[in-house]
Structure 1
Amino acid sequence: MPINAPKQILIIKLSSLGDVIHTLPALTDAKKHHPDITFDWVVEDAFSEIPTWHPAVSEVIPANLRSWRKNLWRTWRSHQWQNFKAMMQSTYYDQIIDAQGLLKSSLIARYANGQRYGLDYQSAREPVAAFFYHQRFAVAKGQHAITRTRSLFAQALDYPLPDTPPEYGLSSYSFTTLMPKRPTLVFLHGTTWASKHWPDRNWVALAKRAAKAGFRVRVPWGNEAERRRAEKIADVHEQVTRMGASNLQGLAAELSTAVAVVGVDTGLAHLAAALNVPSLTLYTSTNPGLTGTLGKNQLHLQADFPCAPCFQRNCHLPQDAKTCYDSLPVDKVWDKLMDTIAQH
C-alpha cells in the first residue's frame, strides 16, 4: 500500500435497499487491494443493518432524512440533526466517497471532514451533484449498477477494476435460524413500483403449485397492502405461511434457509442474491442488465412485450389491454423455478 494511500474512508450511500447492497462488492474489492482500509458509512436508518454485515465497515452513521424533512421543528428541538452532524464531523477522513451521485447525497457529504470524491457531471444520476466534489471520475452509463460502483471505488482508491464476479462480503456473517423440516421457498411479491408487480392471482396459483409439490412457502410483507396480499397467498394451503414482522437480519435468516426464492424486482431480491440463495427474479418495467440481481445462482425472467422495459412506475395501458405480465405466465415461472432448484 502506498505511503499516502487512504486508510479511513467515509461512504455516502443512503438508500434504497438494493442500492445499498449494490455497494458491498466495491468494499470487498477495496479491502483486497488495501488490507488496512476501513470504512464508515452514512445510510438511511431503515437500511443501517446492511453495512454492519460487511467486515470492512467500522461504524455506521444512520440518517433519517425523510422524517427530518417532514418534521423540521421536532427534528431541531430533539437535536437529531445536530447529533447527526456531530457524528459526521467527529473524524477526519482520508477520503469521502459519494457512491449515490445525487444532490442530497453530495450535500450530506459536505458536512464531513475530508476530500470529497464522486462521479463527474456526465456520470452522476444528478449532474449537479458533481459540483460539490473535490475530485470527479468518469464511469460509463449503461453498465450494471454494481459494476459502476466498483469502477468508482477503483478509481477513487487507485487500484485496477477487477474483472471477477462481485463478492458481497457477507459469507463471514452468521444469519442463524432453525432449518425448516421441509424444503422452503420464499415469495418476494412486494415492490414500490406498481408496474413491477406480478398479479396476485399468479402468486396464488404459484403457491398452490408449490404446496402440491411438497414445498413449504414463506411470504414476507412490509406494509398494509403487502400484508393483505401475503394473507391472500397464504390462504391457499397450510404449508404456505405469512411471515411476521421482522428486521433485515431476520429476513436474511429466512432467505438463507430457502432452497429458492421467487421475486419481482425488489430490494429483498438483491439481498437474496448477496446471500447466494438460488433465485428466479421477474422483470417487467425494468432492465436486469442495469439493476438486476447479480451473483451466483441468479436467474432472470424478462417480460417479452413491445414496451418492456418501460422504466415507468405505473403501466399506462388500458386496464382491459394485454400487458407485459401476460408474457410471464405461471406455467413458465414454475418451469424456470424447477430448473433453478434442479441446478443447485
Structure 2
Amino acid sequence: MDRFLIIRLSSLGDIIHTLPAFAALRRRYPEAKIRWAVEKKGKEILDLVPGIDEVVVVDKKKWRHSARTIKGRDQIALDFQGLVKSALLAYLSRSRRRIGFSRKNLKEPMASFFYTERSSPIPEEENHVIRKNLKLLETLGIQESRFEFPLCIPDEAVQSVRSKLSAIGRQDGQRILVLNMGAAWETKRWFPEKWIELIKEVPLSDSFPILLWGNEDENRLAKIVAEKTGVRVAPFLAIKEAIALLRISSLVVSGDTFALQAACALDVPVVALFGPTNPSRNGPFREGDKVIYVKRDCSPCYKHECSDLQCLQAISVEEVATAVRDLWKKHG
C-alpha cells in the first residue's frame, strides 16, 4: 500500500489552500493511506475533510513528543509548509522520499537540507499559492490544474449557526452579509472607522450584516463598530461553525485571512481587501470576485508591523461599497 504524509501545520488559510493538492493526491492514489501533520487549531478544518486516514496533531512546544508522533511507515512525505520546522518533521518521519519546494521558493532556504527531492522553481509573485502547492505534486507525476476543496460541513453545525443568528435578530429570508474584521496580522486589518463608514454606505435590502471576529481584541473592535452602526456582532464560533456561517452567507467582505480563503473554497462571493500581501498569490482565484488592492512602492511587504499602513489607508470606502453593492445585486 502507498503511504503518504502531508505536512502543512498552519495557518488556517494556508491549510485551506493545501486542500486541492490533497484532493489531487487522493484521486491519483484512491487506496493509499494518507496522514496529515497539523497543529492543534488546524485539526478542526481537517476533521471536515473526508479521505484523510489520520490527522497527526503536532505540538510545537513539545518537539520530543512530536518527533515520536510523526514517525510512521510513510513512504513519501510532502512538505507544503516549507519551513525548517516542517522539513525537520519530514526528516523525523523517516519517510524514504521527502519532497519539498525549490530552494528559491522557500521562506527558510535551510529547509531544503532535509529534502531528498524538490519541485522545480516557479515565480512566487506570479503564481497563486494553490498552484505552487499543486506544482509540488509534479514530482510524483501528478499534473493537476483543478482547485477542489473537499470540505464536508455537518448539518448540525449549520443548524447551530442558524439558531445563534436567530437569537441575535436574524429573520427568516434575510441574506447574510459577513463583514470579517479579523486577521492574525494587524497589518491585514482594515480600520474600525472604515468599517463604520462602509456599513452606513451600504444599507442593503433583505440583508443581515454580521461582524465576524477571531480573538478578544478583534471582538472589542467589532463591538465599537456595532455601537456606532447597530450591526450585530457574531457570537463566539468554533472553526467548524465559522465555516458553516461562511457556507450559508451570500457575501463575505474580508482581508487576507482564513475567512476569505474559506469563503473562496466554499464558492461564496467575496470582496477582498488587500494590504501588505499580494492578491495574485493569496487572493481570490475565481472570476467575478472583487479585489481591492492599492499597490504602493513598498507593496507587497508581508510585514506584520507597520507605522503608517499606507496600503490599507488608501482603500476607499466608496470603492469597497461599490463592490459590495455590485456583488449583492449580482448574486441576489
- After superposing the two structures, state which structure 1 stretch, 29-38 or 262-271, moved more: 29-38
TM-score, normalised via structure 1 length:
0.84
Aligned to 1:292: 283
Change (3 A) 1:123 1:61: same
1:40 is paired with a residue of what secondary structure?
Answer: strand
* Structure 2 equivalent of residue 330 of structure 1: 317
1:33 equivalent to 2:28? Answer yes
Q: What residue in structure 1 maps to residue 49 of structure 2?
A: 54
Give 1:1-344 correspondences, 5 Å limit: 7-65=2-60, 68=61, 83-89=65-71, 91-115=72-96, 116-142=98-124, 143-155=127-139, 157-160=140-143, 162-164=144-146, 166-170=147-151, 175-177=157-159, 178=162, 181=172, 182-211=174-203, 213-238=205-230, 240-295=231-286, 298-317=289-308, 323-344=310-331
Distance in 2 (alpha carbons) for counterparts of 1:123 and 1:310:
16
Number of equivalent positions: 317
| 1:40-63 CA distance string (max 9 Å, x none) | 111111111112222221111112
Stretches of structure 1 lacking an aligned partner (at least 5 in a row) = 1-5, 69-74, 76-80
Instruction: Spell out, residue by residue over 1:124-165, the C-alpha distance to the aligned partner (whole angstroms, 9 max, x if none).
Output: 22111111112222231322111111110232x2222x234x
Q: How far does the alpha carbon of each residue in 1:261-301 deviate from its partner, in whole angstroms, 9 at most, with x for none?
A: 00111122111111111111111221101121334753211
Contact 1:30/1:154 (8 A) holds in 2: no
Deviation of 1:15 after TM superposition, in Å, equals: 0.9
Question: Hey, what's the Cα distance between the residues in 1 that align with 2:264 and 2:238?
Answer: 18
Gap change, CA 1:250 and 1:93, over 3 Å in 2: same
Q: Would you say the 8 A contact 1:13–1:20 is kept in 2?
A: yes
- 1:271 is paired with a residue of what secondary structure? helix
TM-superposition CA deviations, 1:43-88 (whole Å, max 9, x none): 11111111222222111111231xx1xxxxxx5xxxxx55543332
Give the superposition deviation at 1:307. Answer: 3.7
Further displaced range: 168-177 or 269-278: 168-177
CA contact 1:220–1:243 (8 Å) conserved in 2: yes
Shift of 1:30: 1.8
CA distance in 2, matches of 1:325, 1:213: 28
**AA partner of residue 23 (structure 2):** T
- Give the SS at the match of 1:332: helix
Q: 2:256–2:272: 8 Å Cα contact kept in structure 1?
A: yes
1:110 maps to a residue whose letter is Y
Contact 2:82 2:107 in 1 (8 A): yes
User: 1: distance between equivalents of 2:52 and 2:286?
Assistant: 21
| One-letter amino acid matched to 1:151 | K
Give 2:78's aligned amino acid: I
In structure 2, how many angstroms separate the alpha carbons of the residues matched to 1:341 and 1:33? 39
Partner Cα distance (1:248, 1:295) in 2: 24
**Counterpart contact for 2:35–2:56, Cα < 8 Å:** yes
CA distance in 2, matches of 1:296, 1:288: 13
Identity of aligned residues (%): 29
Q: Report the secondary structure of 1:110's partner residue.
A: helix
Partners of 1:198 and 1:264 within 8 A in 2 = yes
Alpha-carbon distance in structure 1 between the residues aligned to 2:116 and 2:93: 13
Are 1:194 and 1:314, in contact at CA under 8 Å, matched by a contact in 2? yes
Tell me, in whole angstroms, the C-alpha distance in 2 between the residues paired with 1:295 and 1:21: 15
For the structure 1 residues 11 and 183, does the alpha-carbon distance in structure 2 shift closer, same or farther, using more than 3 Å as the test? same
TM-score w.r.t. length of structure 2: 0.87
Determine if contact 1:42/1:61 at 8 Å carries over to the other structure.
yes
SS of corresponding position for 1:22: helix
* TM-superposition CA deviations, 1:187-216 (whole Å, max 9, x none): 111123333221211111222344464421
Q: Give the whole-Å Cα distance in 1 for the aligned partners of 2:49 and 2:133.
A: 16
Give me the whole-angstrom Cα distance separating, in 2, the residues matched to 1:296 and 1:200. Answer: 29
Q: For the Cα contact (< 8 Å) 1:274–1:295, is it kept in 2? A: no
Q: In structure 2, what is the Cα distance between the partners aligned to 1:304 and 1:83?
A: 44
Instruction: Kindly indicate whether the alpha-carbon contact (under 8 Å) linking 2:7 and 2:86 is maintained by their aligned counterparts in 1.
Output: yes
CA contact (8 A) 2:180 2:211 kept: yes
Amino acid corresponding to residue 113 of structure 2 in structure 1:
F
